[in-house]
Amino acid sequence: MNFSNLIKIAYEAIMRNKTRSLLTMLGVIIGISSVIAMVSLGQSSTQNINQEISSMGTNLIMVMRANQRRGGVSMGNSNSQTLTIKDCEAIKKRCKNVDLVSPSVSTSGQLVRGNENWPSTLQGGNTDFLKIRKYDIARGTMFTEKDIKEYKKVCLVGETIIENLFADGSDPIGQEIRIGSTPFKIIGVLESKGENQMGQDQDDIVIAPYSTIMKRLLATQYIHMIYCSALNEDLCDIAVEEIEAVLRTNHRLQDDAENDFNVRTQKEMLTMMNSVTGFLTILLAAIASISLFVGGIGIMNIMYVTVTERTKEIGLRTAIGARGKDIMYQFLLESSMLSLVGGLIGIIFGLLISYLATKLLGWPFIISTASVFLSFIVCAATGIFFGWYPAKKAANLDPITALRYE
Amino acid sequence: MSVIIKIDNLKRYFQVGSETVRALKGVSFEINQGEFVSIMGTSGSGKSTMLNILGCLDKPTDGEYFIDGIAVSKLNKDELAHVRNRKIGFVFQSYNLLPRTSAVEQVELPLLYNKEISSKERRERAFLALEQVGLKDRMWHMPNQMSGGQQQRVAIARAIVNDPVILLADEATGNLDTRTSYEIMSLFQKLHSEGKSIVFVTHEPDIAVFTNRTIMLRDGRVVKDVPVDTQSAKEALDALPPSEDYN
């Protein structure tokens, strides 16, 4: 008995029961397509988040003020006054793996222009701020060192501000807006960046010299954050160590004292996000696998019923010269064909679902070759595993009893 | 004339619980090439057991069975399957056709288990066999599109397609009306005249008269083994009154 004959026999047996074969396959189709879709969607969302975070700069390092104790009283993270311009200068000067440094202060307030007003965030930085935070200037210019030194009331505005304050379509550059009672002159417009992965509008921002904000709006000598960029992504960890060392010296912290600042990198954010999405992907895939398992049991059930129903056929085949293993291979092949064809359709379906979903969500569409490959193997294994017992049963039927079976 | 089947003191016992049922208690006979033999007997006479052993579906407890010179008692399961595939053609009482399968594919079935035969030769031989049983114009019909007689003809075509040494028929007319039975017997007689050796198991004496020799079994022993004054099934068919079932 050669293999092509066997395939022909199994194929004909499947085609004799089209509806039943299709329904049997449906279990596998749903199982496989959900596994593929879930894994693919999970990876797409991971990729999506990665892209968003990378768009903020993967070499970004944020130094934030942390809890400070004054005479035994904890000041909390957001009220502590630990970071100063001197820290910025020290980092700039002494950290070899740090490229750019910018202090950051921010305040929120109501922007006013004529009859229009809009609440927004006023962000203070130095001349490197845009480069570190990956903002680009669409029109106009950035403020200069001279502007910073002279506490000039100039600013750059994001797309959202223009939409709300300059709805009349007039050119914002050169015009004045008030923040609280302080007038600022717009010298540049930022390129739109859209929303970040947290859903925050990154275009709803006004950027001004940090010195102006510190002196004229906040009346403080302390800064809120320091943005740094490492020379490249791989040097982030070394850069963080350098920054910590410099700041500890600057702040005269004892060896056993806790840092009064926190250093965060985008890489950490990335790892954290990935661990969350990775867990979700595994969870979804596990749930989907259950449906695949149920599909496999469906195949086994049908094959089992089939053996009983086709007892006479098995008897006949034995009588005309089929060996036990011929019968077994036939049934194994039938179940394998069902699961493989079902799997193939399932893979196509799954990819289609994830393609449509990613299109709809605006995520990148990722075909996970590993999951496609794996589900194909699972399919073959399902067919053989769940087909084995019924096939064995068929092969062991006594031909005489099988022939007389009614 | 060469001997194709030789049975020598054949015994078959079944163990049912603590009791031993002796279905065959020492049967001996020979069948020559080109014979048309009927095996007769009432139920319980051992004729079904006899047929199973002749058809290599079962092995004797004791005694020897040679088919075409092969000692069947010494064969294992796979070798028995091989003998069934190459040397034996089965015709059953209930046709045993596969559902939703065309006549040609039914007939091809035994050849599918013979890897020496190409798909082209398989199709040709299936066509030829269907032609021999007079179903040239029913090649692609499904079982449910055919009458009982036609289905039995497909089964006969399936039995002769592998050019067997012996054709074994088990109550092959048992499910058919008199007219169709005669038609089928006439077909068997035609195949016999073309050189086929046939063993026909039946309990009906009026069917046995169309064969050349009758072996009568009773209680697991041969009680009679006589030549038959053969009648022509064709003549019997012509002598029947016109059918009232149709028109």
Q: Do A323 and B78 touch (CB under 8 A)?
A: yes
A321 closest CB neighbour out of B58, B84, B101? B84
Residue B176: give the domain boundaries.
Answer: 33-63+73-239
pLDDT tens-digit map of A48-105: 877 777 776 778 888 888 877 666 777 667 777 788 888 989 998 888 888 999 999 9
Q: Do A323 and B77 touch (CB under 8 A)?
A: yes
* B75 interfacial to chain A (CB closer than 8 Å): no
Whole-number pLDDT of residue A142: 92
Q: Tell whether A42 and A160 lie within a shared domain.
A: no
Would you say residue B219 lies in a domain? Answer: yes
Q: Tell whether A215 and A152 lie within a shared domain.
A: yes
User: pTM to 2 decimals?
Assistant: 0.71
Q: Do A1 and B81 touch (CB under 8 A)?
A: no
- Which of A316, A330, A401 to mutate against chain B (most B CBs within 10 Å)? A316
Average pLDDT of chain A? 86
For chain B, which ranges sit under pLDDT 50? none
Q: Using an 8 Å Cβ cutoff, are A66 and A80 in contact? A: yes
Q: Tell whether A45 and A109 lie within a shared domain.
A: no
**In the structure, what pLDDT confidence band is assigned to residue A156 with cuts at 50, 70 and 90?**
very high
Q: Tell whether A252 and A114 lie within a shared domain.
A: yes
* B77 interfacial to chain A (CB closer than 8 Å): yes
From chain B residues 135-194, the ones with a CB under 8 A of any chain A CB are 158, 162
* B46 interfacial to chain A (CB closer than 8 Å): no
Whole-number pLDDT of residue A46: 81
**Chain centre to alpha carbon of residue A97:** 29
Minimal C-alpha gap between A2 and chain B (Å): 6
Q: Do A321 and B82 touch (CB under 8 A)?
A: yes
Last residue of one domain, picked from the residues A259, A280, A303: A259
A182-190 and A176-179 strand pairing: antiparallel
Q: Which of A266, A223, A218 is nearest to A247 (CA)?
A: A223
CATH number of the domain within which B232 lies:
3.40.50.300
Would you say residue A58 lies in a domain? Answer: no
Would you say residue B37 lies in a domain? Answer: yes
**In the structure, what pLDDT confidence band is assigned to residue A198 with cuts at 50, 70 and 90?**
low
Q: Tell whether A335 and A298 lie within a shared domain.
A: yes
Whole-number pLDDT of residue B123: 94
Q: Tell whether A9 and A87 lie within a shared domain.
A: no
* B33 interfacial to chain A (CB closer than 8 Å): no
Would you say residue A66 lies in a domain? Answer: no
Q: Tell whether A207 and A350 lie within a shared domain.
A: no
Residue A215 sits at the vertex; the CA angle it makes with A209 and A220, to the nearest 5 degrees, is 115
Q: Tell whether A109 and A18 lie within a shared domain.
A: no
Whole-number pLDDT of residue A185: 93
Q: Using an 8 Å Cβ cutoff, are B129 and B107 in contact? A: yes
Q: How many domains does chain A have?
A: 2
Whole-number pLDDT of residue A378: 82
What residues in B contact A318, CB-CB < 8 Å?
57, 81, 84
* B109 interfacial to chain A (CB closer than 8 Å): yes
Q: Which of A304, A400, A334, A285 is nearest to A12 (CA)?
A: A334
Q: Tell whether A175 and A101 lie within a shared domain.
A: yes
- Residue B139 in 3-state DSSP? coil
Would you say residue B220 lies in a domain? Answer: yes
Decide if pLDDT at A207 tops 90.
Answer: yes
Q: Tell whether A148 and A168 lie within a shared domain.
A: yes
Q: How many domains does chain B have?
A: 1
Last residue of one domain, picked from the residues A259, A287, A306: A259
Whole-number pLDDT of residue B8: 93
Would you say residue B157 lies in a domain? Answer: yes
**In the structure, what pLDDT confidence band is assigned to residue A197 with cuts at 50, 70 and 90?**
low
Helix axes A18-55, A369-395, angle to 10 degrees: 160
Would you say residue B8 lies in a domain? Answer: no
Would you say residue A65 lies in a domain? Answer: no
Q: Minimal Cα distance from A2: which residue of B?
A: B115
Whole-number pLDDT of residue A379: 81
| Tokens representing residue B64 in the block | 């020897």
> What count of residues does chain B have?
247
ipTM of this complex prediction, to 2 decimal places: 0.92
Q: Tell whether A354 and A378 lie within a shared domain.
A: yes
Decide if pLDDT at A40 tops 90.
Answer: no
Whole-number pLDDT of residue B213: 95
Share of chain A above pLDDT 70, in %: 97
Last residue of one domain, picked from the residues A210, A228, A259: A259
Would you say residue A19 lies in a domain? Answer: yes
Whole-number pLDDT of residue B214: 95
Would you say residue B7 lies in a domain? Answer: no
Q: Using an 8 Å Cβ cutoff, are B185 and B173 in contact? A: yes
Residue A24: give the domain boundaries.
Answer: 3-53+271-404
Place of tokens 């942390």: A66
Q: Tell whether A237 and A110 lie within a shared domain.
A: yes
Whole-number pLDDT of residue A102: 93
